[in-house]
A and B are shown apart, each in its own frame.
Chain A
Amino acid sequence: MSVTFDASTTRLRLDADAFITLVEYATDPEGACEDVVERLSDAGAVADGAPHPVLRNALAAVTSSLGSLQVLVTGPDGVRLHQAWVAFVSAMLTDLADGTYDFAALSTEFVPTTIAQLTGLQARPRLDAASAVVDESLLDDLASNSVAARTAGSEALADLLAPWPRASAAVRAGRWQLSVVDIAFQARDRTVVRRLAWVDVDAGLLRVEADEHGPALVPTTSTAVWRAIVSILPTDAETDAQTGTGTDASAQSA
């Protein structure tokens, strides 16, 4: 695996081992794997016993984050798992689906935009009001790294979407995507965990909502998803204004 780094653009592309080593190196240079450090050094990502200065903000977000955020995007072609660390300045590790990742600092107020880009959030036709109870195992299949499991999951999803024939047909044609955004952060003396999940089938969007009967798919809109993405982030009140972004305290959707 390779490491490529351009200090002028701060663009760093690396594999998982190199990323883990870089983070270790930022906190404990002596404990980091020498072979991997050599690869990072060859690329210019570390020099003179420390990570390159332009990487400091991103690494600081990782080593002292207020919360961790994951964006899982899965579809017929594969699974991508992006990772972010929310802090005063956040950081994003973008899964390029080839064993490498882009690592960069990210202004926290642009985290929703980045999630929208990673999930391809866009306008979709409106689906008629209805709901379909969905088994957790189906969602697990859709999110599986196994092609066979995703194929089986998509067939079950197509059956489940029978109330919306165009949506069902889109799934059978391979036009589906499941996006799951998870965030966990410390809010004073407790850990807050929030999840937002939706299925995009080209012919419409369906949000995964849970109640006492379990999860169900409910038609939604990209406007509602955008608002939900914004609302799962920690507010300044929850983090004692440590994000410094002016986020208002407000009702949250889990």
Chain B
Amino acid sequence: MTDVHPGSGQVPTPRLRTMSVRGGTVSFAVPEHWVAIELSPDGDVVAAVEPDDSDRFRTNVVLTFADVQGSLAEWQRTTQHLESQELDGYLLLDHEEITVGGHVGLRRLTTHSTPAHESVTTESWTTLVDGTGITLTARVATLRLTRLAPVLDAVAASLVMRTDGLVPA
């Protein structure tokens, strides 16, 4: 299980369904009406995005795997540096050590401007298991955060990793 930020409101969360990857060793839940996408043929990047029912930014959750040399902290420093260089208006709002999928991990909260000049808030939960970096990233239009924060909290809390190791991609 994953530590999440204390709930921000009483907004009901939608029904969730579970997405499993890497032979079921990693799973997380997303709203059942969201669209599941496998962004890489080897299953190293899977995502779910809310339906395309307007021209607004579509809230999405992406799970990525990466081979990592070095420690979790070093890897995250590099990642953060790259994001701050590449993303317009990048602002690191919060970061903390937490439990992610039952492992020592990090949570970060950032905001930036998309190429379409939308303000997006990004929350990510990261851990490192046997040299594999696992990151669950949720992105939401900033002005919709109040309504969607409980959904993102529920998605993060659902992230589970089997304790007997990850199945390779």
Residues in A lying within 8 Å of B, measured CB to CB: 107-110, 112-113, 116-117, 121-123, 126, 221-224, 226-227, 230-231, 233, 245-253
Q: Is the CB of B119 within 8 A of A224?
A: no
Does any Cβ of A come within 8 Å of B69's Cβ?
A: no
Minimum distance in angstroms from B150 CB to a CB of chain A: 10
Minimum distance in angstroms from A182 CB to a CB of chain B: 18
A110-B113 contact in complex given A224-B5, A251-B9, C-beta closer than 8 Å: yes
Q: Whose C-beta in chain A lies nearest to the C-beta of B4?
A: A223
Q: Whose C-beta in chain A lies nearest to the C-beta of B144?
A: A248
Some 16 contacts from A to B, beta carbons below 8 A apart, are A107-B119, A109-B142, A113-B91, A122-B92, A122-B93, A122-B94, A123-B92, A123-B94, A224-B5, A226-B121, A246-B141, A247-B144, A248-B143, A248-B144, A250-B146, A251-B146
Size of interface on B: residues with Cβ below 8 Å to A:
32
Minimum distance in angstroms from B80 CB to a CB of chain A: 11
| Residues of A close to B8: CB separation below 8 A | 224, 227, 231
For B71-93 the 0/1 string (1 means CB < 8 A from A) is 00000000000000000010111
Minimum distance in angstroms from B92 CB to a CB of chain A: 7
Number of A-B contacts (CB under 8 A): 94
Indicate which residue in A223, A231, A245, A250 contacts B5 across the interface (CB closer than 8 Å). Answer: A223
Give Cα A116–Cα B110 distance, bound, in whole angstroms. 11
Q: Is the CB of A112 within 8 A of B142?
A: yes
Minimum distance in angstroms from A73 CB to a CB of chain B: 16
Give Cα A250–Cα B149 distance, bound, in whole angstroms. 11
Minimum distance in angstroms from B105 CB to a CB of chain A: 15
Excluding A230-B142, A231-B9, 19 further A-B contacts by CB distance (< 8 Å) are: A109-B119, A110-B89, A110-B119, A112-B142, A113-B89, A116-B91, A122-B93, A123-B96, A221-B5, A221-B96, A222-B94, A223-B94, A226-B93, A227-B149, A231-B146, A247-B143, A248-B143, A250-B146, A251-B10
| Residues of A close to B91: CB separation below 8 A | 113, 116-117
Indicate which residue in B93, B113, B141, B146 contacts A222 across the interface (CB closer than 8 Å). Answer: B93
